[in-house]
Chain A
Amino acid sequence: MTDHVLSIDHLTVAVTGASEPKTVVTDVSLSVGRQEIVCVVGESGSGKSVTSFSVMGILSPGLAPVAGSIKLLGEELIGASPARMRELRGQRMAMIFQEPMTALNPVMTVGEQIAEIFRYHRPEMSAAQIQQRVQSLAEDVHLPDPTNIVHRYPHQLSGGQRQRIMIAMALALEPALLIADEPTTALDVTTQKQILELVRDLVARQGIGVLFITHDFGVVAEIADRVVVMRAGHVVESGSARDVLTSPRQAYTRALIDAVPGSKLPAAREIADDVLLRVDNLSKTYGSFGLFGRARNANPALQNASLSLRKGEILGIVGESGSGKSTLARCISRLQTPTSGDIWLGGINIAQMQERKLRRHRKAIQVVFQDPNRSLNPRLRIGDALVEGARNFGVDAREASQRSRRLLDLVGMDDSALDRFPHQFSGGQRQRICIARALASEPDILVADEAVSALDVSVQAQVLELLKDLRERLGLAIIFITHDLRVAGQLCDRLVVMQSGKIVEQGPTGSLFAAPRQAYTRELLAAAPGREFLASAQKA
C-alpha cells in the first residue's frame, strides 16, 4: 500500500454554512500508484473536479471536506497547515488545467515563468543552472526549438505548445503526482493526441502518478490504466481501464461509453439530387480598418470554397480551429459578408446582398450557435424568444405562439418553458430551445456551428438524435460544423474537410472514412481518441 502516490479514503465534501447539509462529493475512495494513470470520468456536476481540488487544497470558499482522508505519499492532507500545503503544491503534486492561456502570465516570457518556480523553491540554484533546467524541461515536453521557444510570450505559442509549457511548469520540481483537469478539452484533436502521448511518455520515464480528469471515454481508452466513474458526487464504478471499457457493470458507464461519438457510422442514405444551396469560390479576407481607411494585415480566412447542399442532407464541415469552418458558416448564414464568390439560394445570389433586401431571404437559413448559455437573450422569456422569428416574417401572433408550442414539443420540452427565462434551464435544454427558435421561421437550412461541443457527452448524443429526427420529419438540410470528426461521422451524409481556409477534401462520409485521399484527413482520423478501442468494439 505504501506504493500509492495518492490515496483518497471515504472523502466527503460539503457546502459549508448551508442551513441543511449538502454534500457535493460523497464517500469517494480512489488511489493512484507510481507510473499509473487513473482517469476520473463523469459529466459536469459529477464532482470530479471538486475531488481533485480537495487534493490540491484549492476548494472554493464555501466548500470543505467534512469526512475521510487524503494521503499524499502517506502524508495526511486534510487538516494540513496552509504553509505545508503550499510547500506540497509544486514539490509533491502539481496540476494542469483546461485552458492554458488563462493560467499563464501574458506579459512574461514562458521561460521566465518556468525559471521563477526555481528561484522561489530552489534559491540555492545558480542562474546558469536554472537556465539549463528550463532548457531540459522544454526538451522533456517535446517543444519544438527549445532554445528559442522559452524566450517567447504565451500569445506567440499555439494552444498545444502552451499546454506543454504548463506541463513543464507542473513537472519543474519533480512532483510525485500530476493532476490533469480536462487538459485536452480545449485543444484540437491532433494536438490532443500529442499531449496524451506526452503524458503517457512522462509517466513511463519519470514514474509519476497521474490523476486525469475527463468526460470523454475516448480519451480514457487512449490513456488510462485504471478508471473511476463518478456521478452526482458518488463513485459508481471503478476498475482497470480494460475491464470498465469492455464490460462495464453499471448502465450509466455503458451509456457514457456508448455516448462516445463515432461508435457507429450511419448507413448511407439515398438523397434526391435537389440542390438547395450552392456556394461557388467563396472567399473572405478580414482586414482591420484604421481611422483613415483600410489598414494592412489582410489575412484570408477563407479561400475559394465551393460546395453544395441538397434537400434533407446533413453536410459536415470539419477542421481544426483556424481552419475557416466557422467563417464559411457565418458567410453562408450571412452574418458576415464574403469578400468574393457567390452563394446561390434558390436561384438568387445572396453573397453581396444589402441587409434590407436580405432580410426576406434570412428565413431560409437559420443558425444554432455553440454556446447555449450565450445564444439566448437573458432578459427575454422563452415564449417571446420563440415567436420572434415567425413574427418577423409576417406570421400573426396567435399562429406564432401556437407554432412555438408545437416546436417545444418537437424538441422534447413542454409548454411550461414558455414563461421561464433562459437561466432556469440546463445547457442541453437551452440548446433544444435554440434549435426550436431556429425552426420557428420554418427554414430550409439549419446551420449548426459547433452546436454540441459545449455539451456533456450524453446530452450531446441526445441533441444529435434530435437533429437526425428533425431531418427525417421536416426534410431539413443541415450544415453541421464541428472540430470532432467522430461526431461528424456519426451524423453527416457528406463531409467537407477544411484546413487553413481551404477545402482540402469532400465526399460521402463512408468513403471518406474508409479511404481518405488527403494526408490531412488521414491525420485527423488517426487523432480521434479511442479509435482503436472503438474499432475493436465494433468488431466484437
Chain B
Amino acid sequence: MSAVVTSPTVFRSTVTILRRHPGLLFGLVVITAMVILAVAAPWLHTVDPTYIRPRMRLKPPSAAFWFGTDSTGRDLWSRIAYGSRVSLIVGASVAAISLVIGLVIGMISGVVRKLDGIIMRIMDGVMAIPAILLAIMVVSLFGASLHTVIIAITLPEIPRVVRLTRSVVLTVRGEAYVEAAISMGTPTPILMMRHILPNILAPVIVQATFTASAAILIEASLSFLGIGTPSEIPSWGNIMADGRNYFQMAPQLIMIPGFLVALTVLAVNILGDSLRDLLDPRFARSVGDAQ
C-alpha cells in the first residue's frame, strides 16, 4: 500500500532534482550510455576487435565498418566499443579501491591521534612522487597488464583521499554530537561507524568521482605512451597510439577515441560537481529548516 503511495512521489522528486541540476542529468545520461556501450559491445554491430584484415587497411567509414578500419585493417567501431570497457573498468576500480583504502587510512589517522603524524608523513612522501612517473615505474616493474595499470594509477590517488578524509574527520570529531557520544562511553569502532563515517561520506564520494575521471585520463595517457594497457587489448589510449602515425590519412583514428575520452571525463566531472551541490549538508538542511 505504502509503496503505491510513495513511488510516484519518489519519481516526482527525482524529476525535480534532475531539473534543478541539469549537470547531474547530463553526467548520468553520458555515463549510462557508456556503460551500455561497454556491456552490450558484442551485440552492437561489432566483430572481433583484434581480427586483422591486411587488405582492408585504413578504410574510410562505410556500412560494414562504421568508423572505418585502422592500419592493420581492424574494425575501429568494434575496437572503440570494446575499448570503452577498459576505460570504465579502470575509472571505476581506481575510484573504488582508492576510496576504500583512503577512507580506512584517513579515518584511522583522524581518530587515532598517535598514528596521525606517521601516516600523514608517509602520505606526504607518496604525494611527492609525480603520479605519471610512479605509474611508469610500477608498470615497468611488474609488466603491463590491466591489473598493474589499475594499481599504478590507484597508488598516487590514495593520499588525496586520505588527506580529504582526515580533514573532514577532524572537523566532525569536534562536533558536539561526537563529544556527546564519547561522553556516553561509545566504543571507538562504533563511534567511527555510526557517528563519523555517515557524516564524512558526502565529500569523499564527490572526490571519488574526480578520481574516476582522472584515472580514465591517466590510463589513456599511459596507453598512448605505450606503457599502459597491453597493446593487444583495445583501449581508447591504445587506439590513439596506433593511429598516431596515420593522422593525416585517417584522422578519425585519433579524433573519435579522443572525443570519447574527453566526453566521458567531462561527464564524470560534471556529475561530481552536481553531486557536491546535491550532497552539501547546507543545502539539505536549508530544506529541513524551512520554518
Which A residues are closer than 8 A to B by beta carbons?
Answer: 45, 291, 333-335, 359-360, 362-363, 365-367, 369-371, 374-380, 388-389, 392-393, 421, 423-424, 434, 437-438, 440-441
Contacts and interface: CB of A to CB of B under 8 A. Distances in A.
B22 interface: no
Contacts of B182: 335, 362
Contact of B186 (A45, A392, A421): A392
Contacts of B183: 333-335, 362, 365-367
A379 B199 contact: yes
Contacts of B198: 377, 379-380
A471 to B, nearest CB: 20
Given A291-B117, A424-B288, A376 B184 contact: no
Interface in B267-291: 281, 284-285, 288-289, 291
B187 interface: yes
A423 B289 contact: yes
Given A374-B176, A378-B199, A393-B185, 5 more contacts: A335-B182, A367-B183, A392-B185, A423-B285, A437-B184
B105 to A, nearest CB: 19
Contacts of B177: 374-377
Contacts of B289: 423
A446 to B, nearest CB: 11
Chain A interface main SS type:
loop
Contacts of A334: 183
A389 B178 CA distance: 12
A349 to B, nearest CB: 18
A375 B180 contact: yes
Contact of B176 (A366, A371, A421): A371
A359 B185 contact: yes
Interface of B: 117, 175-187, 194-195, 198-199, 281, 284-285, 288-289, 291
Nearest to A376: B177
Top 6 closest pairs, chain A to chain B, by CB: A423-B288, A375-B176, A389-B184, A369-B176, A362-B185, A379-B198
B185 A441 contact: yes
A378 to B, nearest CB: 7
Nearest to A330: B179
Nearest to B181: A388
B281 A378 contact: yes
6 contacts: A367-B183, A374-B176, A377-B198, A378-B199, A378-B281, A379-B198
A370 B176 CA distance: 9
Contact of B185 (A375, A389, A424): A389
A513 to B, nearest CB: 31
Given A377-B195, A377-B199, A378-B285, A335 B184 contact: no
The interface centre, meaning the residue of B177, B179, B198 with most chain A CB atoms within 10 A of its CB, is B177
A168 B175 CA distance: 36
B184 A392 contact: yes
A376 B185 CA distance: 16
B64 to A, nearest CB: 56
Nearest to A368: B180
Contacts of B117: 291
Contacts of A389: 184-185
Contacts of B186: 388, 392
B281 A369 contact: no
Given A374-B175, A375-B176, A366 B184 contact: yes
A434 B179 CA distance: 12
